Amino acid sequence: MVGIAKPFRRTCRPGVDGKYPDDTRESYIADQRYACAPEQYVLAFELIQKDLLELFDYIEPAHLNRQCYSYRIHELLMRTCVEVEANLKAIMSENGYKPQGKWTRKDYRKVELTHNLSSYEVKFPRWEGAGGVKIPFAAWGSAGGALRWYDAYNDTKHDRHKNFEQANLGNLTDAIAGLVAVLGAQFYTHGFSHVTLWADDIDEKKRSPFVLAIGDYFLIKFPTNWNPNDCYSFDWKKIENDPDPFGSLTF
């Protein structure tokens, strides 16, 4: 049988038909056994998003401003990357993974193989010039490179005086796009507080590969390059009452 017979914890994937969770399949994401306290991770992101939008009152979201840096941007960069790490740890820990010693980027990178993060695209609805669509984990794909925004986080965390210029708008927006992608890779567009609805005047579902992300601001494009053998083939209604309807990833 092609496909995965049980959903993995904190792992959103399309079905073998190529479709992501809809009203009939999304219930596995809302199941209390799927993720521990998912609403806390969403709330932390929504506060970051709120502060980013406030920052945009003073710095225009534009390609020309990508090198602008400040203490405020530094603070948001720190919080954002801490949340990226928290989500990656949760994905791995709740699937049974234990690091050898302290968590490192070598551990975090394993999530690329299970969640296809390098194929996620995030679109800023208001951005002037190039760079409005970001692929925050692209370097984790075939090139096998490092994430520039994550390096900026570590560099400015350990030596802010020397590396302060790296706490800039470009790295911050890339990092926030990374957080949007990681949340989408776990929860699709499920915000755990309300059902997201598209207004008639902005509904582009039939014309655009992007959909409204968690938080109702960013747009996200989910990967379409999954191997059919790695997609889901379960009927949630048939397995939701099992004692444990979820499988665990192997990293």
At 162, the pLDDT band (50, 70, 90 cuts) reads very high
Phi-psi region of 188 (alpha: psi -120 to 50; beta: other; left: phi over 0): left
Q: What is the mean pLDDT of residues 131-154?
A: 93
3-state SS track over 230-244: HCECCCHHHHCCCCC
pTM: 0.92
Question: Residue 128's beta-bridge partner residues?
Answer: 62
Q: What is the mean pLDDT of residues 73-98?
A: 98
- Cα–Cα distance for residue pair 86/191, rounded to 1 Å: 17
* Mean per-residue pLDDT over the chain, rounded: 91
* 8 Å CB contact between 201 and 176: no
Tell me the per-residue pLDDT of 170-210, one tens digit each, with 9 for 90 and over: 999 999 999 999 999 999 999 886 444 333 334 444 567 89
What pLDDT band is residue 2 in, cutting at 50, 70 and 90? Answer: confident
**pLDDT at residue 38, rounded to an integer:** 96
Buried b (16+ CB within 10 A) or exposed e, 52-66: beebbeeeebbeeeb
pLDDT at 8 over 50: yes
Q: What is the pLDDT of residue 142?
A: 74
The pLDDT, as a whole number, for residue 1 is 58
From the DSSP assignment, how many helices (H) and strands (E) are in the chain?
A: 9, 4
In the predicted structure, residue 150 carries a pLDDT above the cut 60: yes
Length of the chain: 251
pLDDT for position 54: 98
Average pLDDT of 102-108?
A: 95
pLDDT digit string (tens) for 58-85?
999 999 999 999 999 999 999 999 999 9
pLDDT at 27 over 70: yes
